[in-house]
Structure 1
Amino acid sequence: MAIDFNKRVRPASHVLISNLEGESVLLNLQSEAYFGLDKVGSHMWSVLSTSDSIQAAYEILQDTYEIDGKELRQDLADLIAKLMEQELVEVSDK
């Protein structure tokens, strides 16, 4: 599935997010499915969920981490796809 980087990502309304010592857990209150994020994943999620677009998050993360742009783009797309699969996020226009 191709992710449109002009869209934005927000947690779904039925999702509870818990942070502990830099790590995060997203819990779908309807299905009780959960998704754990390590410190880097939690930071990616924080930037992604507060940015105006996936592209804006990508640019912030590109400045933060020393990683190939293509690899970061793929990592973001993979994370979003996994969160969508668990119905933990909503992807919408800006």
Structure 2
Amino acid sequence: MDLDQKITFSDTVFAQEVDGEMVLLDMESENYFGLDEVGTAIWQAMQEKETLKEVFKTLLEQYDVEEEVLEKDLSEFVDKLLKSGLVKVEKY
């Protein structure tokens, strides 16, 4: 994963936080996705930051986790979002 990439959210995805967890609805596919607490934190950081590098740094400050573990988890999360069509990744 290239941390210098920027995440762009699909226009057809609506997100709503419910009891500390994010629920995503893709209006195009009509699929719902539920994010746990960590997934919600990643989603929110991606909305607030310009690049995945900034998201990575924000999460590193929030959680007591090794850099390698966080990078792997972030990469897997972004891959799932990409495969579901919820986001696009662009070179920053």
Question: Considering the TM-score relative to the shorter chain, is it more than 0.5?
Answer: yes
Counterpart CA distance in 1 for 2:69 and 2:86 is 23
- Give the alignment partner of residue 29 of structure 1, picking from 8, 27, 33: 27
1:51 to 49, 52, 64: 49
Structure 1 gap segments, 5+ residues each: none
**Amino acid corresponding to residue 71 of structure 2 in structure 1:** R
Q: List per-residue Cα deviations over 1:4-37 (Å, max 9, x = no partner).
A: 2101113211111111111011111111122210
Secondary structure of 2:29's aligned partner: coil
Q: Percent identity of the aligned residues?
A: 29
Distance of 2:86 and 2:70 partners within structure 1: 21
Task: Say what the alpha-carbon RMSD is for the aligned residues.
Answer: 1.1
5+ long unaligned stretches in structure 2: none
Secondary structure, counterpart of 1:77 in structure 2: helix
Following superposition, which runs of at least 4 residues in structure 1 exceed 3 angstroms of deviation? none
- Distance in 2 (CA, whole Å) between partners of 1:68 and 1:47 is 18
